[in-house]
């Protein structure tokens, strides 16, 4: 519960932070809300020599509208996503997801950038970010690049970010016409993280046929994933209960579910199927 | 004092709360002494291993390190960790404060580092190198006592720590005469108490005075002082133990721990105050655990549901060592094995099994939740086998109210009770008949409602001295200060229960003063006369009665002095009401309590032979335990698709005797039910086959959160106890004792249509889902 010694920096703008990161690379860790990193440091599972606190980089904390997209700065706290009126109107999936993260203390400190960069396989945001088809902007001293959500999550606690890169922005599409969304979650009772979380974005044509659907699943496998088999089975079909059930039965196809003290692989896969169905039904009802 | 104002029975908000809520209370970690240094402990990473060598040179040379000690260094200086409960043929392994030669569980202390701050101390721990020779770990208690298991303490040649038996009536005959035998194997899983404040110790030695002061988060400052003096070979009157604000104990601080003696020793040896604060991880590994029983229960029953006899075979998972009361806990299970029922024939056998794990000991309820769980599950199993309603089976076996004091097959005498009434009341509140109908209707729709009943009696107010290792009385001093303010020194050691409020209520009523005039002091052995402490739902029934006894002495003396001041020869003519003494035949002649107090200290005019001052000490020895009782009903719905459990209702009818403060009683019942919910649905200390604690963090070990807790509908009855003049029984553990089986019975009632008869706790969704699917 006591971390090893480290040197602490608190830059006040992004270029300062990037310069520090460039200088110390692997030996440095960025500190955002600290709600994943500090517990790991206290358990000495992470022992960074340098800590670069992004808390002073105010330019990374914002929620902006940009045409039919929304831009969210990496240092935006969960509570600000949860309570954003703009997001509630134009991207309710994110507010709904943020609301299910941890407890009030966690949401007051944790950031969207920190959550995504940490890539905990049971974190909530990744499901929504995948279902929304978000794009993530990373910058380093060399320049910037956009990473598609699906390319971003590489494996458990591993992302496509290079050590000298900072995740600065998340870009998500605004809610389209005849589109409904839902995030449902079964929490692991000790940690509150997801044993299974399913995010759905569902667009229905005027005849009640599924025009498009995206399903993001977290907590089930070593990284959050898009349940493509469910999507393919549903797209173009009339959205009746049996179609939804048949499609949802494919929610764990092709994934290797996690197994631990809290749930077997079999049960996790089962939860993915049941809750995909329930999430799709809920998304449909929300249109 | 306003006329007729009374405090007892009123829902007075706790006087403790303001300082707790505003963060102004002093816990051990808030205590800072000049030149204080910090200790950190190296603990075993193996469950069972020989320690070939401990290399501390690098740690000694590390920055800021003052000293490093190993087991070898202190084995002569510090006596073993004590066990107070004695059973016949109890095997008591040597329990050094730092391991020598062998380690027996993950988390066992091996060495201690003292450094200038806690960071440096912690860093230096990583520099100690231990050469282990790992041995096979024995984790499963059944395996531990089976043939061929590795022996944990070689000197005994067995892992059986004790065998304890209890019989009443004629058990063989009961089974001969039975129409049916119902049997069930059940597990009360190991639990981790998880007090919000972990343990912590600060020790300071004053060489001039030869006094060692130990601040520690404990429930038993005086008992601890006696034991620490023995371990450190100091005179008891040179040791001062202070329990400052204690952030929860639940039994886990009803103990004497290695660290308490070790930190005291370090303070003396190094001549500096030393602080050690347990980390949460250490708290999981090396503060006592609770429960840990595997039971085979057999009931001899008649077709009408009458239970003729019960046979229990219990294996108690002891852990690697005994802590203070380890062996006593399952004996409480045995004593309460017939619960609130008239079951004349009983046999209980408990085998204590050493395992390579942390010791089990008292955890809220301490042996009684186990008993109630086993019996209440059996009642439902019996009802199921006979096709009877669970209510009917219970009603059939209750003793009648006129049968009290009621003698049990286990040799106890229940003081007072009306079990039928408690159950009827709970049934009425919950609307039992209607719920059963709704259950039928919902089943048609594929929805699964479950109704779980638990009727219980518990043994409280521990207890008469012959029944407890260190005496079961409690002490109190009531000191009236010259200004008429009252200081109460209680030997009980409240740590969240609220006795600073409830004892003040008793005092205010007896002396006719305001609540704010009373201050209740506890937890400092240099201030408070010897006392026993707070555990076993005893603080109010025994400690409160001691306060009451001291008050009677004070009142008696004050009345004599008042008579003297009023010039009245006949003391019997003096009455005391609303804070004033007056003559019964001339109420205008009066003197206030404050005036009497001042006169006692000014001592200008005292009756002949009367000592100056106004204070009294009373040691109360109870003649019996008390036996609170009640009925709890849980209503849940199980999602058959996922196994998820949702609460619909929770009704608790508790009778804890006379209620001093209903807010405190509700608070205790609420907290107890929540802890039960933890055992029923969420919690389990899981060790893997190598003896590593897999649930060693709060991210892995699920305690209930506010969002897990249903609305609790509490109601009560008040059947005064004849055992003490207050009529109080105790309520600290009732919720924990009653609720676990109510919840489990509800879940199993819900899934009964699938043919599921029993599942062991915790009833996690996956387990329920599998049972439904397997059916
Ligand atoms: C009690 C508790 C309960 C929780 N429950 C949940 C839950 O239910 N669901 C859930 O999803 N999460 C939960 N969390 C995690 C919480 O949401 C974290 O805040 C989040 O995962 C990490 O965000 P952070 O801002 O705290 O990041 P930090 O902990 O500061 O950082 C996490 C990691 O990301 C890196 N990093 C941070 N920002 C950037 C950036 N901009 N660019 C590159 N790398 C970066 C850091 O270097 C570090 O490696 C919980 C945490 C706690 C303590």
Q: How confident is the model over A77-106, as a mean pLDDT? A: 98
The model's pTM: 0.97
- In this prediction, residue B469 has a pLDDT band, given cuts at 50, 70 and 90, of confident
Whether chain B has a CB inside 8 Å of the CB on A177: the answer is no
Residue ID of nearest Cα to ligand 1 atom 22? A115
Mean pLDDT of chain B: 97
pLDDT in tens, B618-638: 999 999 999 999 999 999 999
Kindly tell me if the per-residue pLDDT of B87 is higher than 60: yes
- In this prediction, residue A63 has a pLDDT band, given cuts at 50, 70 and 90, of very high
Looking only at the bridges linking them, the beta strands covering B200-206 and B274-277 are antiparallel
Question: A16: CA distance to ligand 1 center in Å?
Answer: 22
pLDDT, residue B462, reads 85
Residue in B682, B695, B703 closest to A261 by CB: B695
Kindly tell me if the per-residue pLDDT of B517 is higher than 60: yes
List the one residue out of B230, B534, B500 whose CA is nearest residue B362.
B534
Atom of ligand 1 nearest to the CA of A191: 3
List the one residue out of B350, B377, B368, B349 whose CA is nearest residue B291.
B368
Kindly tell me if the per-residue pLDDT of B1 is higher than 60: no
Whether chain B has a CB inside 8 Å of the CB on A141: the answer is no
Q: Considering the domain A61-173 in this protein, what is its CATH number?
A: 3.30.465.10
**Per-residue CA distances from B4 to A51, A226, B170, B572, B663 (Å):** 65, 72, 55, 22, 21
Q: How confident is the model over B244-261, as a mean pLDDT? A: 97
Q: Which long-range contacts does A23-32 make (Cβ < 8 Å, 24+ apart)?
A: A24/A49, A24/A50, A24/A52, A25/A163, A25/A164, A26/A163, A28/A52, A30/A54, A30/A117, A30/A166, A31/A55, A32/A74, A32/A75, A32/A110, A32/A111, A32/A113, A32/A114, A32/A117
pLDDT, residue B26, reads 96
- In this prediction, residue B468 has a pLDDT band, given cuts at 50, 70 and 90, of confident
**Per-residue CA distances from A26 to A54, A276, B87, B532, B572 (Å):** 17, 38, 59, 57, 88
Mean pLDDT of chain A: 97
pLDDT, residue B775, reads 63
Q: Considering the domain A7-54 in this protein, what is its CATH number?
A: 3.30.43.10
Structural contact between residues A93 and A170, judged by C-beta atoms closer than 8 angstroms: no
Q: Do domains A61-173 and A180-285 have the same CATH topology?
A: no
Interface confidence, given as ipTM, is 0.96
Q: How confident is the model over B395-413, as a mean pLDDT? A: 96
pLDDT, residue B112, reads 98
Beta strands in chain A (DSSP E): 7-9, 28-31, 50-53, 63-66, 69-73, 135-140, 143-148, 153-155, 158-159, 166-173, 179-187, 194-204, 210-218, 225-226
Q: How confident is the model over B348-360, as a mean pLDDT? A: 98
Substitution candidate for ligand 1 out of A30, A109, A159, A224 with most atoms within 8 A of CB? A30
* Topology adopted by domain B17-23+473-620: Aldehyde Oxidoreductase; domain 4 (3.30.365)
In chain A, where the domains are located: 7-54, 61-173, 180-285
pLDDT, residue A1, reads 78
Kindly tell me if the per-residue pLDDT of B2 is higher than 70: no
The H or E element that residue B44 is part of is none
pLDDT, residue A40, reads 95
Atom of ligand 1 nearest to the CA of A193: 8
pLDDT, residue B413, reads 95
Whether chain A has a CB inside 8 Å of the CB on B136: the answer is no
Distance separating alpha carbons of residues A34 and A106, to the nearest angstrom: 10
Q: Is the Cβ pair B642, A263 closer than 8 Å? A: no
Share of chain B above pLDDT 90, in %: 98
pLDDT, residue A27, reads 95
Residue B605 CB partners (closer than 8 Å, separation 6+): B564, B565, B599
Q: Is the Cβ pair A190, B769 closer than 8 Å? A: no
pLDDT, residue B5, reads 80
Q: Is the Cβ pair B769, A189 closer than 8 Å? A: no
Calculate how close chain B gets to A203, using CA atoms only, in Å: 27
Q: Which CATH architecture has domain B290-463+624-774?
A: 2-Layer Sandwich (3.30)
Distance separating alpha carbons of residues B218 and B253, to the nearest angstrom: 5
In chain B, where the domains are located: 17-23+473-620, 31-135+196-248+253-286, 290-463+624-774
Kindly tell me if the per-residue pLDDT of B470 is higher than 90: no
pLDDT in tens, B38-57: 999 999 999 999 999 999 99
The answer regarding whether domain B31-135+196-248+253-286 maps to CATH 3.40.50.300 reads: no
DSSP three-state, residue B635: strand
Q: Which CATH class is domain A180-285?
A: alpha beta
Q: Do domains B17-23+473-620 and B290-463+624-774 have the same CATH topology?
A: yes
Q: How confident is the model over B402-424, as a mean pLDDT? A: 96
Whether chain A has a CB inside 8 Å of the CB on B123: the answer is yes
Q: How confident is the model over B179-185, as a mean pLDDT? A: 98
């Amino acid at each position: 519960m006591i971390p090893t010694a480290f040197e602490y920096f608190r830059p006040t703008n992004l270029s300062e932070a990037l310069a520090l990161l460039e200088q110390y690379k692997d030996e440095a860790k960025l500190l955002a809300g600290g709600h994943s990193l500090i517990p790991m440091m206290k358990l000495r599972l992470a022992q960074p020599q340098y800590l670069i606190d992004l808390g002073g980089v105010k330019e990374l904390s914002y929620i902006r509208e940009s045409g039919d997209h929304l831009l969210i700065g990496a240092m935006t706290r969960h509570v600000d996503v949860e309570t954003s009126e703009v997001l509630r109107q134009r991207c309710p999936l994110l507010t709904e997801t943020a609301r299910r993260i941890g407890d009030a203390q966690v949401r007051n400190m944790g950031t969207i950038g920190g959550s995504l960069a940490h890539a905990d396989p049971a974190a909530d945001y990744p499901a929504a970010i995948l279902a929304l088809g978000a794009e993530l902007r990373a910058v380093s001293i060399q320049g910037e690049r956009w990473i598609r959500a699906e390319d971003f999550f590489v494996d458990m606690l591993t992302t496509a970010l290079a050590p000298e890169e900072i995740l600065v922005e998340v870009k998500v599409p605004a809610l389209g016409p005849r589109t409904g969304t839902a995030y449902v979650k079964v929490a692991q009772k000790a940690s509150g993280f997801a044993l299974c979380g399913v995010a759905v974005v569902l667009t229905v044509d005027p005849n009640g046929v599924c025009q498009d659907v995206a399903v993001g699943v977290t907590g089930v496998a070593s990284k959050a994933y898009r349940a493509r088999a469910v999507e393919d089975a549903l797209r173009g079909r009339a959205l009746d209960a049996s179609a939804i059930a048949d499609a949802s039965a494919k929610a764990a196809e092709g994934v290797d579910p996690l197994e631990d003290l809290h749930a077997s692989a079999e049960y996790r896969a089962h939860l993915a199927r049941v809750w995909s169905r329930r999430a799709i039904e809920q998304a449909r009802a929300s249109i | 004092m306003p006329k007729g104002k009374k405090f007892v029975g009123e829902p007075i908000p706790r006087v403790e709360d303001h300082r707790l809520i505003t963060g102004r209370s002093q816990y051990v970690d808030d205590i800072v002494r000049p030149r204080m240094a910090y200790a950190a402990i190296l603990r075993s990473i193996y469950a069972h291993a020989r320690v070939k060598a401990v290399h501390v040179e690098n740690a000694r040379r590390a920055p800021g390190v003052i000293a490093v000690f190993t087991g070898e260094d202190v084995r002569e200086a510090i006596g073993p960790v004590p066990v107070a409960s004695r059973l016949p043929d109890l095997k008591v392994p040597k329990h050094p404060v730092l391991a020598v030669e062998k380690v027996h569980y993950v988390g066992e202390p091996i060495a201690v580092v003292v450094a200038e701050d806690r960071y440096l101390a912690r860093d230096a721990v990583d520099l100690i190198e231990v050469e282990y020779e790992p041995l096979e770990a024995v984790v499963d208690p059944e395996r531990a006592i089976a043939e061929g298991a590795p022996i944990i303490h070689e000197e005994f040649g067995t892992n059986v720590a004790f065998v304890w038996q209890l019989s009443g009536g004629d058990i063989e005959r009961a089974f001969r005469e039975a129409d049916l035998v119902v049997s069930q194997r059940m597990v009360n899983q190991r639990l981790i108490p998880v007090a919000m404040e972990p343990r912590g110790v600060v020790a300071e030695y004053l060489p001039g005075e030869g006094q060692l002061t130990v601040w520690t988060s404990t429930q038993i400052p005086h008992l601890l002082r006696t034991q620490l003096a023995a371990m450190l070979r100091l005179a008891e009157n040179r040791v001062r133990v202070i329990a400052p604000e204690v952030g929860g104990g639940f039994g886990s601080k009803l103990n004497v721990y290695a660290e308490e003696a070790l930190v005291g020793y370090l303070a003396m040896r190094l001549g500096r105050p030393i602080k050690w604060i347990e980390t949460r991880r250490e708290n999981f590994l090396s503060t006592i655990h609770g429960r840990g029983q595997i039971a085979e229960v057999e009931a001899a029953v008649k077709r009408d549901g009458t239970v003729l006899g019960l046979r229990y075979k219990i294996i108690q998972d002891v852990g690697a060592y005994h802590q203070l009361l380890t062996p006593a806990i399952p004996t409480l299970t045995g004593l309460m094995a017939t619960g609130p029922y008239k079951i004349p024939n009983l046999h209980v056998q408990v085998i204590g099994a050493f395992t390579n794990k942390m010791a089990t000991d008292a955890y809220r309820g301490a042996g009684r939740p186990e008993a109630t769980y086993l019996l209440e599950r059996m009642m439902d199993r019996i009802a199921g086998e006979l096709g009877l309603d669970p209510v009917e089976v219970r009603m059939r076996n209750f003793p009648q109210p006129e049968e009290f004091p009621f003698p049990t097959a286990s040799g106890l005498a229940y003081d007072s009770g009306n079990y039928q009434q408690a159950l009827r009341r709970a049934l009425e509140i919950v609307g039992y008949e209607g719920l059963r109908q709704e259950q039928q209707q919902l089943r048609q729709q594929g929805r699964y409602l479950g109704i779980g009943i638990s009727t219980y009696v518990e043994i409280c107010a521990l207890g008469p001295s012959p029944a407890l290792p260190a005496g079961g009385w409690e002490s109190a001093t009531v000191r009236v200060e010259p200004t008429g303010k009252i200081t109460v020194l209680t030997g009980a050691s409240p740590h969240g229960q609220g006795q600073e409020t409830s004892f003040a209520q008793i005092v205010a009523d007896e002396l006719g003063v305001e609540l704010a005039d009373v201050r209740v002091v506890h937890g400092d052995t240099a201030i408070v006369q010897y006392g026993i402490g707070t555990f076993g739902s005893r603080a109010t029934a025994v400690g409160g009665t001691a306060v009451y006894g001291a008050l009677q002495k004070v009142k008696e003396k004050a009345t004599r002095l008042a008579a003297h001041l009023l010039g009245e020869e006949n003391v019997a003519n003096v009455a005391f009401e609303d804070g004033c003494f007056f003559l019964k035949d001339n109420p205008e002649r009066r003197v206030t309590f404050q005036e009497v107090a001042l006169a006692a200290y000014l001592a200008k005019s005292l009756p002949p032979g009367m000592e100056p001052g106004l204070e009294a000490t009373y040691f109360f020895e109870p003649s019996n335990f008390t036996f609170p009782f009640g009925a709890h009903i849980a209503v849940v719905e199980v999602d058959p698709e996922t196994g998820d459990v949702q609460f619909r209702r929770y009704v608790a009818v508790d009778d804890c005797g006379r209620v001093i403060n209903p807010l405190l009683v509700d608070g205790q019942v609420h907290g107890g039910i929540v802890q039960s919910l933890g055992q029923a649905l969420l919690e389990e200390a899981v060790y893997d086959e190598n003896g590593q604690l897999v649930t060693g963090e709060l991210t892995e070990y699920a305690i209930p959160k506010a969002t897990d807790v249903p609305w609790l509908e509490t109601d009560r009855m008040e059947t005064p106890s004849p055992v003490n003049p207050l009529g109080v029984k105790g309520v600290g553990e009732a919720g924990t004792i009653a609720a676990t089986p109510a919840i489990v019975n509800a879940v199993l009632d819900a899934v009964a249509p699938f043919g599921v008869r029993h599942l062991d706790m915790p009833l996690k969704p996956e387990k329920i889902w599998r049972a439904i699917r397997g059916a």
